[in-house]
Amino acid sequence: MTPARYTGKKASLATMHGKLELISPSMSTLGLDVFPSPIDTDVFGTFTGDVARRASPFETALAKARDGMRAASTTLGLASEGSIGVQGFLPIVADVETVIFVDDDEGFVLAETAVSHHIVTHSWTLSQGLPLEADLERAGFPNHGLIVRSDRKPVDITKGIHDHKELNRVIEHCWEMGATQVTVESDLRAHHCPSRRPTIAEAARKLANRLLNSCPSCDCPGWGLVDIVRGRECAQCALPTQAKLADVFGCSRCSARETGALNTEPADPSTCERCNP
């Protein structure tokens, strides 16, 4: 495609949490002018669980983008959604950031994700007094925001704390109100969690790069990796394994698909179901 496809066009970004400066620079390489559509994205669920998330990150990002587009009356929209938690078998917190682009002029939706294990998170419980410096350090405080939650009913919750004095005041207030336990945890919203921000920017970069590639069949922007083919032969027994044989590239609108170059190198027997059951 010619990079001029989006030159001078405007796209809304559904955000309350300071994501414009993370997403807009990549989109400006396409000539796209991104402006914030300040809808209440917290209605789609929050990390603190006071509003439950029900949909997948893709569906949530899409719903946010659509809301932002409706509010701003645009045909182009962006949104992002983070998914933070333990993945797989290792006790390491993964931050998976999804950035989505909706183009109602061309009629397609495209999302890219970036993954990081460098997110700073911590959660701990107090039964008296004030937090230890070691815990605050581990939480990246005060650079990273904290949430304080009392076990007193109705649950008393204070978010976005970045100041030692305020933190101590909020916790002391919990004790004064009769709390028996106070939970202190990372505020994972993007504007309170700087270690999420490079990952959101990386997902936006991947999305912008992909929008530069058009489908060879229908010329829609967003041609890129959609799948992989497994089945490289085992080096030991020559049976097909779970190892990747090739990438599959596809269109974000039509059914066009292309299989990339085959990797015919024999696969490590550790990926073979017969040799490593």
Q: Contact positions toward Zn ion, by CB under 5 A?
A: 215, 217-218, 220, 234, 236-237, 251, 254, 256, 269, 272, 274-275
Nearer to Zn ion, 225 or 237 (CB): 237
Nearer to Zn ion, 61 or 215 (CB): 215
Shortest reach from residue 266's CB to Zn ion, in Å: 10
- CA–CA gap between residue 76 and residue 110 (Å, rounded): 12
Nearer to Zn ion, 40 or 227 (CB): 227
Nearer to Zn ion, 8 or 277 (CB): 277
Q: Is 175:182 a contact under the CB 8 Å cutoff?
A: yes
- CA–CA gap between residue 41 and residue 61 (Å, rounded): 10
Q: Is 38:16 a contact under the CB 8 Å cutoff?
A: yes
Residue with tokens 């999302």: 111
Shortest reach from residue 277's CB to Zn ion, in Å: 10
The two tokens of residue 87 are 């993945």
Nearer to Zn ion, 193 or 272 (CB): 272
Shortest reach from residue 275's CB to Zn ion, in Å: 3
Shortest reach from residue 213's CB to Zn ion, in Å: 11
Alpha carbon of 184 to those of 95, 161, 211: distances in Å?
20, 10, 41
- CA–CA gap between residue 245 and residue 250 (Å, rounded): 17
Alpha carbon of 267 to those of 78, 140, 233: distances in Å?
40, 42, 6
Shortest reach from residue 119's CB to Zn ion, in Å: 35
Shortest reach from residue 79's CB to Zn ion, in Å: 23
Nearer to Zn ion, 42 or 258 (CB): 258
Alpha carbon of 154 to those of 147, 150, 179, 206, 220: distances in Å?
16, 9, 11, 43, 52
